[in-house]
Amino acid sequence: MKSQLMVFALSAILVASIGMAPAFGQIQSTIVVTTDKTSYSEGEIIMVTGEVRDLYAGTPVAVMVTSPNGSIVAIDQVTVGADKKFSTEITAGGTMRLSGTYTVVVTYGNENRVAETTFEFAGSTTPVKTDGKVTDTTVSVEGSTDLIGYEITGAKLLGIIPDVDASSLIISIDATDDGSITLTIPRSILDATFPNGEDDDFFVLVDGEEVDFDETMTSTDRTLTIAFHAGAEEIEIIGTFVVPEFGTIAAMILAVAIISIIAVSARSRLSIMPRI
């Protein structure tokens, strides 16, 4: 009888402790993220908030938003407060053009500390701005007096605009057949370099999918040849500089990873050093 009462008592304590666990206010995941609403219309402010379980001084949170077709439409680097919380605001629209489900992915230091949430966007009705300065061989880009030279087969080039937030060029095309486009891009408009000034690789997406490309370079220009499929609408070339200059996702994620490694290594060294 006593043994039965003991088992019952232990079970009751276990159930009670499980029920009380959330009361301590500690998040169970290494990082969580949410938006203030589940759906947005063009022009509305998307409030992204979250919290980290473990605080690493000097390590920011990388925030990335992807569209229904997988394209990167927004990116930010957010400081985590002493209360372990973070927040940022993103305007619905701009590079968000498709209607559907968008995904917010947050990373804190490395791929093991990642979380995501989703929201619905009704789609953009604002026409794509192209400046209307497309000739048979060149196209102008807002913010620069230099011209991008091009040759295209299987499609019509509609225009090129710089995406400041992603440090990229967005090329709008109307592809009736499989084809390719060759772009001669002045380095003054778009470039990809390491901090020491050496050339880095571009990152190219066709309708949100990464693709291979051919490239030749001079001291003033970079020429890319990119193949696309029939029905393609958008090509994005991501670098480390676009008019005006801004960091890219690759540079940001690399910086976050390096800072995280340094921070964790420092904490590890301090924890194993003997006290005098």
Task: Based on the fold, state whether residues 119 and 256 are members of the same structural domain.
Answer: yes
Backbone angles phi, psi at 117, to 5 degrees: -145, 170
Instruction: Quote the CA–CA distance of 238 and 208 in Å, as a whole number.
Output: 12
Confirm whether 206 is domain-assigned.
Answer: yes
Give the pLDDT confidence score for residue 68 in this predicted structure.
Answer: 86
Number of H-type helices and E-type strands within the chain? 2, 18
Q: How many domains does the chain have?
A: 2
Amino acid at position 204, single letter = V
User: Stretch 198-213: mean pLDDT, rounded?
Assistant: 92
Task: Based on the fold, state whether residues 89 and 160 are members of the same structural domain.
Answer: no
pLDDT at 7 over 60: no
Its domain, for residue 75, covers 31-124+252-260
The string of pLDDT tens digits covering residues 108-165 is 988 788 999 999 998 877 655 545 478 899 998 887 889 999 999 999 998 898 887 6
The reply to whether omega before 244 is within 30° of 0 (cis) is yes
Assigned token pair, 182: 């060759």
pLDDT at 24 over 50: no
Model's pTM, two decimal places?
A: 0.48
More confident of the two residues 255 and 177 = 177
Confirm whether 189 is domain-assigned.
Answer: yes
Task: Based on the fold, state whether residues 198 and 103 are members of the same structural domain.
Answer: no
The reply to whether omega before 68 is within 30° of 0 (cis) is no
Task: Based on the fold, state whether residues 99 and 154 are members of the same structural domain.
Answer: no
Parallel/antiparallel/unpaired status of strands 234-238 and 190-191 = unpaired
Task: Based on the fold, state whether residues 187 and 119 are members of the same structural domain.
Answer: no
User: Stretch 232-251: mean pLDDT, rounded?
Assistant: 69
> How does residue 223 score in pLDDT terms, banded at 50, 70 and 90?
very high
Task: Based on the fold, state whether residues 114 and 143 are members of the same structural domain.
Answer: no
Give the pLDDT confidence score for residue 121 in this predicted structure.
Answer: 94
Provide, rounded to the nearest whole percent, the portion of the chain with pLDDT above 90.
45
